[in-house]
Amino acid sequence: MKQCPACKTTYTDASLRFCLEDGSPLVDLTDEQHTVMRQGGVNPLRIDIPRKDGPKVVLKREPEPRGGTATLLKIAVAVVLLIVAAIAALGLAGAAFYYGSSTAKPEAAPTRTPAPSPTLDDEKQRLKDEIANIQKRLDERKKSSNTDPADDDLHDASVTATVNSPNDGFLALRTEPDADRGTRLAKVPHGHIVEVLNCEKQAISIAGRSGRWCLVEYNGQTGWVFDGFLDY
């Protein structure tokens, strides 16, 4: 047993070396004070020596188990389970609503697939066919030299001419003798020379210039140009 000399606190734990109250070094208790008996004469006289307050005995407390962490863990697990259950219930309700609405939905009318538009290859093939027809007509005219010019809309005019289109800078070479329907094959630059093969007899006016549609050859291509923009 040990005792603090300052506060007189007694400890039963022999492993303690300092007082838990004030930090003073503890001392071992070896002697205890006893009552002193004194006798005198016939009647013995007993004198009790008053004792100081008995030493305080402090028992070592065992650490209490910490239950706060376990309680919080249980609460957290319960909250997580509730959230999972709520999510599952919402998912089931959503699935039931989706399948219920899908079964009640009327059948949609079949949509018509639009017809595919002509591709670029189809357009090129059409232009090639038109040019081939023009070339065929030209070859037939060259072979039949005794044809009467009055029976055809074209008359021979195999000459060269120079493109005179300074405003636009070029003259359009088209597949047909028509500015709206004829597809542009190429741009003949201003000042370049073309070979005029045949021209229509009827004269018209385009952009303030009078002229005829003529079949010409430029850079290996055969097509129609308006000769109002040609200088012979």
Do 170 and 163 meet the contact criterion of CB atoms below 8 Å apart? yes
What one-character-per-residue DSSP string does 109-167 give?
A: PPPPPPPPPPPHHHHHHHHHHHHHHHHHHHHHHHH-TT--GGGSSEEEEEEEEEE--TT
Q: What is the CA radius of gyration of the chain?
A: 61
Compute the distance between CA of residue 179 and CA of residue 113 in angstroms, rounded to an integer. 34
Where in the chain do CATH 2.30.30.40 domains reside?
150-231
Strand pairing of 154-163 and 213-218? unpaired
Distance of CA 227 to the CA centre of its chain: 57
| Of the candidates 221, 212, 200, 219, the residue with the CA atom closest to the CA atom of residue 132 | 221
Residue 87 pLDDT: 92
Are 188 and 163 within 8 A, CB to CB?
yes
Q: Please give the structure tokens belonging to residue 70.
A: 């376990």
Helices (H) and strands (E) in the chain, counts: 2, 13
Contact 151, 140 (CB under 8 A): no
Instruction: Give me the residue label for tokens 């022999």.
Output: 14
Q: What is the pLDDT of residue 100?
A: 74
Q: Find the distance separating the first CA and the last CA of the chain, reported in whole Å.
A: 140
pLDDT of residue 210: 93
Give the DSSP H or E segment for 102.
Answer: helix 68-104
This model's pTM is above 0.95: no
> What CATH architecture is 150-231?
Roll (2.30)
Residue 8 confidence (pLDDT): 82
43: left (phi over 0), alpha (psi -120 to 50) or beta: beta
In this prediction, the residues of the chain whose per-residue pLDDT falls under 70 are 30-68, 101-120, 141-158
